[in-house]
């Protein structure tokens, strides 16, 4: 039986039986861990070996620099392979691409962990209004965020609409999420 001796763990989040991520999607946990593993290797290369984030032009380049090493418990035979796009998922690929563009990858990993932890479909939404350039970032279920958009529309006198954020939009709005993001349920109670 082959055992991974160098590679990502199944999860870096607390997925023990009583942990926060105990019932989370295993594929998402593994993709999150694999993305963090690649970023750690790249960061080490940059900090300790004179590398630069510009050494890689795209996420696929970074993926082909570091291999997962497995070893047969009985024979000692070793095998190496690269992570695949499917293992990292579009979210992981997006975070790798963001890191290569100088964006805050640890913050994006933390947001991903929040999404993995979310129950009942909670996730980041953009509350957009044509009258205002800056969108509002809200965390909650689609129904909560739609209700919040309606409440903002009535309160501000302008038409707000809620859209779930995908990985690329989360990257684009990271500054807004970190500085002005609101919990939709809390915001509704406050209005």
SS3 33: helix
Tell me whether residue 162 is exposed, middle or buried, using C-beta atoms within 10 angstroms of its C-beta: 0 to 12, 13 to 18, 19 or more: buried
Alpha helices in the chain (DSSP H): 26-48, 59-63, 85-100, 105-117, 142-156, 167-172, 174-180, 184-190
SS3 53: helix
pLDDT at 105 over 60: yes
Q: So what's the pLDDT on residue 61?
A: 92
SS3 18: coil
The stretch 28-45 carries a mean pLDDT of 94
SS3 104: coil
In angstroms, rounded to a whole number, what is the distance separating the alpha carbons of residues 157 and 24?
A: 40
Q: So what's the pLDDT on residue 54?
A: 86
In angstroms, rounded to a whole number, what is the distance separating the alpha carbons of residues 167 and 123?
A: 11
**For the segment 59-99, what is each residue's pLDDT rounded down to a tens digit?**
999 999 999 999 999 999 999 999 999 999 999 999 999 99
Q: So what's the pLDDT on residue 120?
A: 56
pTM of the model: 0.76
The stretch 33-60 carries a mean pLDDT of 92
H/E element, 135: strand 132-140
pLDDT at 119 over 70: no
Domain map of the chain by residue range?
Answer: 2-117, 123-190
Q: So what's the pLDDT on residue 172?
A: 86
Contact residues for 2 (Cβ-Cβ < 8 A; gap 6+):
70, 71, 72, 73, 79
Of 165, 154, 177, nearest in space to 103 by CA: 177
Residues 68, 83 contacting (CB under 8 angstroms): yes
**For the segment 135-183, what is each residue's pLDDT rounded down to a tens digit?**
899 998 888 999 999 998 998 888 999 999 988 888 888 988 988 899 9
**Residue 90 C-alpha from the chain's centroid:** 10
Beta bridge partners, 126, equal: 137, 163
Q: So what's the pLDDT on residue 20?
A: 78
Q: So what's the pLDDT on residue 117?
A: 80
**For the segment 15-33, what is each residue's pLDDT rounded down to a tens digit?**
787 777 777 888 989 999 9
In angstroms, rounded to a whole number, what is the distance separating the alpha carbons of residues 54 and 133?
A: 31
């Amino acid at each position: 039986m082959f055992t991974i001796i160098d590679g990502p763990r199944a999860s870096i989040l607390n997925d023990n039986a009583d942990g926060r991520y105990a019932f989370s999607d295993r594929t998402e946990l593994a993709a999150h861990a694999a993305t963090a593993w690649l970023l750690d290797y790249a960061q080490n290369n940059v900090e300790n070996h004179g590398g630069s984030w510009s050494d890689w032009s795209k996420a696929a380049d970074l993926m082909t620099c570091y291999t997962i090493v497995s070893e047969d418990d009985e024979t000692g035979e070793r095998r190496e392979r690269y992570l695949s796009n499917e293992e990292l998922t579009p979210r992981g690929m997006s975070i790798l691409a963001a890191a290569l563009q100088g964006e805050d990858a640890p913050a994006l990993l933390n947001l991903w962990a929040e999404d993995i932890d979310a129950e009942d479909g909670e996730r980041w939404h953009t509350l957009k209004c044509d009258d205002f350039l800056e969108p509002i970032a809200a965390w909650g279920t689609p129904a909560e965020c739609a209700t919040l958009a309606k409440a903002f529309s009535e309160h501000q006198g302008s038409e707000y609409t809620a859209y779930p954020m995908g990985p690329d939009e989360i990257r684009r709005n990271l500054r807004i999420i970190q500085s002005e993001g609101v919990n939709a349920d809390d915001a509704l109670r406050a209005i």
